[in-house]
Amino acid sequence: MKIDKSVENDGVIFMSIKENDEKVQDNGADDNVTILAIESSCDETAAAVVRNGREVLSNIISSQIALHTVYGGVVPEIASRKHVEKINGCIRAALAEAELTLDDIDAVAVTYGPGLVGALLVGVSAAKAISFAKNKPLIGVHHIEGHISANFIEHKDLEPPFVCLVVSGGHSHLVVVKDYGEYEIIGQTRDDAAGEAFDKVARAIGLGYPGGPKIDKAAREGNPDAFSFPQAKIPGAEYDFSFSGLKSAVLNLINQAKMQGQELSQADVAASFQKAVVEVLSGHAIRACKEYGYNKLAIAGGVASNTALRELLEKECAANDIEFYRPSPVLCTDNAAMIGSAAYFEYKKGVRFGLDMNAVPNLPLGDRERRYHGRSSN
Ligand code: KG4
Ligand code: ZN
């Protein structure tokens, strides 16, 4: 992946992501489906143009991370306001880079949940406005389905069925992707999501926000065996995750050290915590592949960009004859190209949403009834 980055006056980082230096060529086919996709569920405003679910013509991300860093986490009100300011510029840039206009696209897709309601509403309103003004089909996409679909962009040959480990700031799911858009959830977190645990522990050890990448970096200088942290097993639900006990164990260690006037190595705590998380994630994922009989494992979501997780899964997959699929880090964190990919497979199934589509902050994964609320019949 090639990333062109610039920092704007307000501190927002503008990125244009390309698979390589070359422009995607017109393939001459007359049955192409070109989708303009929009994503605004958290602190990234993003727009992309995706052809046939796998070819990215443009991928624009406007990242607000720097604005939220001073507060130690995402401030929903600030995020919504920035989305309003940035969304049109992102859409324009995505179309310009793809050398297309709104008239050239076949459909407009948008993340309509889960996420921060005020943030989601910005993308949803923009997509509905384009759909209405240009009379283009509208497709709502589940954010996590988008994350999973990032794999279809990176790995042009990947097709369902496969197992996918989805680990983001709000979700930790182990799913069987039975077909495009068809998921069976076999495990999920009982408390904190993996990314949430990274963020909370990073704050506790003084690394700040965003926690995941900072722990990832600090851990490279630390000893992963310096401390032994608990890895929760849930009796009767062996594919579920629980990270709150691990987080408490780190907090206890820090408090004890403080009381005893001991200095703790930030890098050692980061490395030991990270080891505990990635071993659980990898252990569950590999066991799921073996027990459910799949030889393909994909990863998705912000935490999937974690170096230690990628390395461990690479090793474990090789040892167990499992093909390992992982999107480039920039396709693991929030972006709109992944939304355009997920939307394509829905589009092909005939899914169309009505203009009554609304943001659904707690939209469940895999629940087609609730997912398609607001869908039109044509
Ligand atoms: O998927 P994402 O960009 O947004 C959500 O849908 O939540 O994931 C963000 C999460 C944050 O918790 C962030 O700390 C975590 O992904 N993350 C990482 C890494 N990069 C991002 N966690 C561990 N290691 C990383 N390198
Ligand atoms: Zn996400």
Q: What is the pLDDT of residues 131-158, one digit of tens each?
A: 999 999 999 999 999 999 999 999 999 9
Q: What is the pTM of this model?
A: 0.95
With a 6 Å cutoff on the Cβ, whether 222 touches ligand 1 is: no
With a 6 Å cutoff on the Cβ, whether 114 touches ligand 1 is: no
With a 6 Å cutoff on the Cβ, whether 212 touches ligand 1 is: yes
pLDDT tens digit sequence for 9-63: 999 999 999 988 887 888 888 899 999 999 999 999 999 999 999 999 999 999 9
- For residue 353, what are the β-bridge partners? 138, 375
CA distance 152 to 247: 33
With a 6 Å cutoff on the Cβ, whether 195 touches ligand 1 is: yes
Residue nearest to atom 3 of ligand 1 (CA): 333
CA distance 148 to 166: 7
Compute, in angstroms, the gap from residue 241 CA to the centroid of ligand 2. 18
Q: Which ligand is located closest to the Cα atom of residue 217?
A: 1
With a 6 Å cutoff on the Cβ, whether 302 touches ligand 1 is: yes
With a 6 Å cutoff on the Cβ, whether 305 touches ligand 1 is: yes
- Output the pLDDT for position 29: 85
CA distance 68 to 65: 5
Compute, in angstroms, the gap from residue 345 CA to the centroid of ligand 1. 25
Q: Which ligand is located closest to the Cα atom of residue 200?
A: 1
Compute, in angstroms, the gap from residue 334 CA to the centroid of ligand 2. 5
pLDDT over 80 (residue 250): yes
Residue located via tokens 């610039």: 6
- Three-point CA angle 117, 86, 19, nearest 5°: 100
With a 6 Å cutoff on the Cβ, whether 198 touches ligand 1 is: yes
- Output the pLDDT for position 245: 93
The ligand 1 atom at the shortest distance from the C-alpha of residue 274 is 23
CA–CA distance from 272 to each of 191, 219, 234, 263, 267 (Å)? Answer: 20, 8, 21, 16, 9
Q: Within 13 Å of residue 311, how many CA atoms lie on the same side as its CB?
A: 7
Sign of CA dihedral 368, 125, 337, 72: negative
Burial (CB count <10 Å: 0-12, 13-18, 19+), residue 71: exposed
pLDDT over 80 (residue 371): no
Average pLDDT over residues 161-170: 96
Compute, in angstroms, the gap from residue 174 CA to the centroid of ligand 2. 15
